[in-house]
Structure 1
Amino acid sequence: MSYPAFQGLLNILNGIIGLKRILLLSWSYRESSKLVGYLLMEILTSFNLLRAYKKHNFKAVLIYQGYMPLTCLMTKLLRKKLLLFIGGSYFKAGFYDSLNHISKLKAYFRRIQEFICHNLSDKIIVLSKSMVKWIGLQPYLDKVSIAPDYPNNLIGKFYVMKPYKSREMCIGYVGALRKCKGPHLLIEAIPYILKEIKNITFLIVGDGPLRETLKRMIKEYNIEKNVKMIGRVSHSDLTYYYNQMRLLVVPSFTEGLPAVILEAMACGVPVLATPVGGIADIIYDGENGFLLKSNHPQEIAKRVVELMKNHNALLEKVSERSALFIKEKFNEKSVAEAWKRIFKQLFFPNNK
């Protein structure tokens, strides 16, 4: 799999239980985006799980970043332990991505998937404490454990390459160009920002269904000179782009614990984000980052202008603190310890 956070978690699990004891049953997210493709993916994964049961003596199934009711049911029929790793609210992501009433109805179908999987699981693993309430896991507190995944080689790959003081006045967005991530709200905020600060540029890194919409907005607002849409870049190139930024804006409607925030902080980029999902568990306003009161364009503009015009000294301190925070809290050792506790609770519940 190429998903960096999964690869990082796989490295952690390899260190705990050994790679030979991990059986990977993967699927394509793109193929599962439509109903027919999703059902085929579920059937295929359940079939592969049944085949694996006949060949391998595995004890548990970990479903990573997905809700798969048929696979969950098959796991329980095979009398194996089921671990469900949840990176964010599946329902809210679908709801805020909705473009019409039909897609909103589909989002509510996700509620059914969540309900089935939550009830069948033996362990539900989330990234941080705030995500328990955000996802709606209060009825399952006896099953919930907290453990981050680990963006592959986070500390080694993402680092301060360019001193903060020498960076140009550049505001960044990194991530999928989807409604639930709010990139259109940042674009709407840019004309307000340019009224106050003329010599400022914006880097939009990523791709997605809103790409053409954002291009039209940029043209309509006549801000082409100030906005660069970089598109999708390789994960290895992200460090360069982070090191061009004086501020990363994350105006999401819903999140888990975004890898882009951890990566940016490791590169010494102060982050301005909405306090959704688990974000408020890692960003302490004014200490190692900044939190928005809302993702309304005028609120985004107000905070960006305030920080860029009046708080250079604070931004430099936050840059230092954010990089240090990642080194202390998101190193491989601390993440591995959290996962070790989960396996001990699952397989040796009476051992303290």
Structure 2
Amino acid sequence: MLVSESTPDGFSFMTGSSLLGQLSSMRKLHELTIIAPFVLPLPRSKDNIRTIKKILRIDKKGIVDGVVYYRPWFFGFPLILGRLNDFIKVLAIFVCIKVNKIKFDIIHAHYAHPPGFVAVLLGKIVKKPVIITCRGSDIHEYTEKNYPDKLRRSRVLYSIKNAVYLICVSNFLKRKVISLGIDDAKVTVIPNGVKSRMFYPIDSSVARKQINLPIDKKLLVNVALLTPIKGTKYLIDAFAELTKRRNDVLLLIIGDGPLRAELENQVLALNLDGHVRFLGFIPNEELVFWFNAADLFVLPSLGEGFGIVLIEAMSCGIPIVASNVGGIPEIINEDNLGVLTTPGDIKGLSSCILQALNKTWDRNRLIERSKYYSWDNVARLTSDIYERI
């Protein structure tokens, strides 16, 4: 049984979750059930009431690609009482299991918190082993001693110490987990995967025509949440430096987040409004055109547990410029795949982008390397862990 924030029809209660891509591969090896509990806001305002009505119209049970999923819901507590919501999620899942007579042998949660914490508590109640996949910020951000949410930090630590096994998506995260006092014997590395039928090479001119992009420009593409850790402000500053040396470049920023307005103002202040476009959220099924239209994919993160978007870009044959941080150098581990730069180094990032634009890349090598990260391979490695428990 998988405890998640997302369901296989693509509905997510946090951000879009790439982990669901493995389900079609996993179901060939095991019977799967997903339970994704979610919290309804209390009906204290018109906006909350509209949100409640919208969520209640969503199916609470379904089958996608042969995988059954459930979405038990409950009214959550606001503000400081919201700390109780994790425990109510446990109750919601427990009731869902009993009412629907769900049978399972293992609980597998993706992310140490909230799903991992909820899964560990549930596992103690139903006496089933719990595996947690640590995917990024849940480890490299939430476990830092200076992380402001001390309760979340304590729940992450509780989760990883009480799970019977941990899967990390990169060696960087594994080292971090072990540094927190976890026995090396109960931690393994299994990378994220990519849907090859969703991300594949297309002729650049065809892709650009499909999404109305100019043929005569060098296109840089960035796909990320617009949050501080993604380093987008450094990319914009580096791009401003780049335009002093080339006037044929266009930066496309795909994604949304709390920093969007601030970043848009930064672009205006640098007089880059004709050279930088904010495209907001773009569905996965359309991203293939944007990747293939690009000359470079740029990821200037200050921290990154893995970086699945790098594999998506490589699957399309697009070279990378990215920060030498976290799990990124495990992916960009040879000069034929991309160029790494120091995180937060504006001039260094600009120089690396210029270097990459002037280089001739072997697109076939990028595509070949991306094949290691297939969901079939991820499913096989994960199944091996299940069999050991």
Name the Cα RMSD after superposition.
2.8
Q: How does 1:276-291 map to 2 (within 5 A)?
A: 276-291=325-340
Q: CA contact under 8 A between 2:325 and 2:343: conserved in structure 1?
A: no
Deviation at 1:278, TM superposition (A): 1.8
Alignment TM-score, normalising by the size of structure 1? 0.84
Q: Distance in 2 between matches of 1:40 and 1:6?
A: 26
- Structure 1 residue runs of 5 or longer lacking an equivalent are 347-352
Q: How does 1:208-223 map to 2 (within 5 A)?
A: 208-223=257-272
Q: How does 1:227-246 map to 2 (within 5 A)?
A: 227-246=276-295
Tell me which residue corresponds to 1:72.
120
Deviation at 1:158, TM superposition (A): 0.8
User: 1:221-254: per-residue Cα shift (whole Å, max 9, x none)?
Assistant: 0011111111111111101111111111111111
Deviation at 1:307, TM superposition (A): 2.3
2:379 to 327, 331, 336: 336
Tell me which residue corresponds to 1:119.
161
Name the structure with the higher strand share: 2
The structure with higher relative contact order (CA 8 Å, sep 6+) is: 1
Match of 2:226, SS state, is: coil
Are 1:298 and 2:347 an aligned pair?
yes
Distance verdict in 2 for CA 1:131–1:83, change over 3 Å? same
Distance verdict in 2 for CA 1:324–1:34, change over 3 Å? farther
User: 1:176-222: per-residue Cα shift (whole Å, max 9, x none)?
Assistant: 11111111110111211111111111111111111000110000000
Q: Distance in 1 between matches of 2:274 and 2:40?
A: 34
Q: Distance in 1 between matches of 2:82 and 2:33?
A: 21
Q: Distance in 2 between matches of 1:163 and 1:323?
A: 15
Tell me which residue corresponds to 2:364.
320
Q: Distance in 2 between matches of 1:134 and 1:231?
A: 32
User: 1:10-69: per-residue Cα shift (whole Å, max 9, x none)?
Assistant: 223211112xxx332214599899865853541232013322554333222111124143
Q: Distance in 2 between matches of 1:235 and 1:322?
A: 20
Alignment TM-score, normalising by the size of structure 2? 0.77
Are 1:129 and 2:175 an aligned pair?
no
Runs of 4 or more above 6 Å deviation: 29-34, 164-167
Tell me which residue corresponds to 1:49.
93
Tell me which residue corresponds to 2:71.
none
2:308 to 259, 282, 288: 259
Q: CA contact under 8 A between 2:169 and 2:190: conserved in structure 1?
A: yes
- Structure 2 residue runs of 5 or longer lacking an equivalent are 1-6, 11-15, 42-75, 207-214
Tell me which residue corresponds to 1:84.
132
Deviation at 1:302, TM superposition (A): 1.5
Are 1:7 and 2:39 an aligned pair?
no
Deviation at 1:163, TM superposition (A): 4.4
1:23 to 28, 33, 50: 33
Distance verdict in 2 for CA 1:321–1:295, change over 3 Å? farther
Name the structure with the higher helix share: 1
Distance verdict in 2 for CA 1:344–1:257, change over 3 Å? same
Match of 1:148, SS state, is: coil
Aligned length: 328
